[in-house]
Amino acid sequence: MLVIGSPRAREILASLRVPGEAFDGVVEIRPRLAAVIEWIQEATAADGDGGISKGYDLLHGRWLPAYPETTGYTVPTLLNAASVLGAPQLRGIAVSSAEYLLRHVTPEGGVAHWADSARRPIVFDTGQVIFGWLAAFKVTGDHRFKDAAVRAGNWLAAIQDPSGSCRAHQHLGVEKVIDTRVAWALLELDRVTGLDTHRQAAVRNLEWALENQDGDGWFRNCAFAAHEDPYTHTLAYTAEGLLESGHLVGDARFIEAGRRTAIALLACQRSDGSLSSTFGPGWRSTSRSSCLTGDCQAGLLWLRLHQSQGDQRLYAGARRVIGYVAATQKLMGVSANIRGAIAGSYPIYGRYERFKYPNWAAKFFADALLALLEADEGSDLRIHPG
């Protein structure tokens, strides 16, 4: 029972509070980055085994179990933030997270969905963990991380369909174009090992994704479940995988496909800087709430394109959407459970991760702040991709 005036009641009231002033430029980037990274540290401590808790469940007042997938791609974020914030302790946390992932490998070499007690390996989850192992190998030279990444890559290549898709080993049994982000991981692995099987598997998947993109940049097979409209989160995942992979293989088709989606998202940006949580075919908005993770990812896409194209519209859109998300971040007067965190949705009772603070929202907000700092300072801060 929720008691008025209790710590949990105060957390809920704080989470429902309307955001204050909008994000205030470069001066605010480092404090907000420090705050969200401190929350990720809280999420790591909550797990107790080295992994990062899936997040904080506001309604139940509890931290959820660790999530291998998102722990994996948060390792590079922690390492990138360590150098920017002058916080060497983050390196230890990142490496401990990579160690945790070694302890949670399935017999096939993959990783399972956080809620699957049967521990069946999942394609997307496995791909994201590769980012973490490669980053840990880069900073430690420990070949256990490289070997685990190679084994995971071998499994991913072995189970791929001739079409380039992976129909088996999918969360909820649905093949998804978000696996372009797995292709990106395989190409990063290829840069380390030079094993052509990984590169070939990545390109096949990217080709399949192109077949699922409409002319206006929207993707079919992009939702988590069949007969649902995709979230901005999954649309941005797919565009990001194509854009980053296109640069790695030097294929303008993949770069253009990612750009097409990013530009379409920019055209859908609302007056307050946000994006709809979901979009149907033709970029029809199908939600009033906003998926904050997807907002951050859209900002990242726009900043990446701005970096190569110099289009100020992209930079302005990125600042606005990052500002929108930043305005929802609570920095003072709240418990450590939510201080610095980013909710799944705004309002917090919106469709995506309702009444929760997921760790990947924090990860992508940190990435977006790092990218904005990079754009403002003209420096290269993304040492570890992912």
Whether 220 contacts 210, CB under 8 Å: no
| Chain centroid, CA 22 distance in Å | 23
Crossing angle, helix 68-85 and helix 29-47, to 10 degrees? 140
Average pLDDT over residues 46-64: 96
Average pLDDT over residues 66-70: 97
**Residue 147 and residue 136: Cα distance in Å, rounded?**
12
**pLDDT over 80 (residue 8):** no
**pLDDT over 90 (residue 16):** no
Tell me which of 3.60.21.10, 1.10.8.640, 1.50.10.10, 1.10.10.970 is the CATH number of domain 66-324: 1.50.10.10
Per-residue pLDDT band at 117 (split at 50, 70, 90): confident
Q: What is the pLDDT of residue 118?
A: 79
Mean pLDDT of the chain: 94
**pLDDT tens, position by position, 292-340:** 999 999 999 999 999 988 899 999 999 999 999 999 999 988 999 999 9
In 10 A of CB 264, how many CB atoms? 18
Average pLDDT over residues 365-381: 92
Cα four-point dihedral sign 265, 270, 272, 274: negative
**pLDDT tens, position by position, 119-168:** 999 999 999 999 999 999 999 999 999 999 999 999 999 999 999 999 99
Per-residue pLDDT band at 2 (split at 50, 70, 90): low
Can you give the pTM of this predicted structure? 0.97
Per-residue pLDDT band at 237 (split at 50, 70, 90): very high
**pLDDT over 80 (residue 26):** no
Domain boundaries, the chain: 66-324
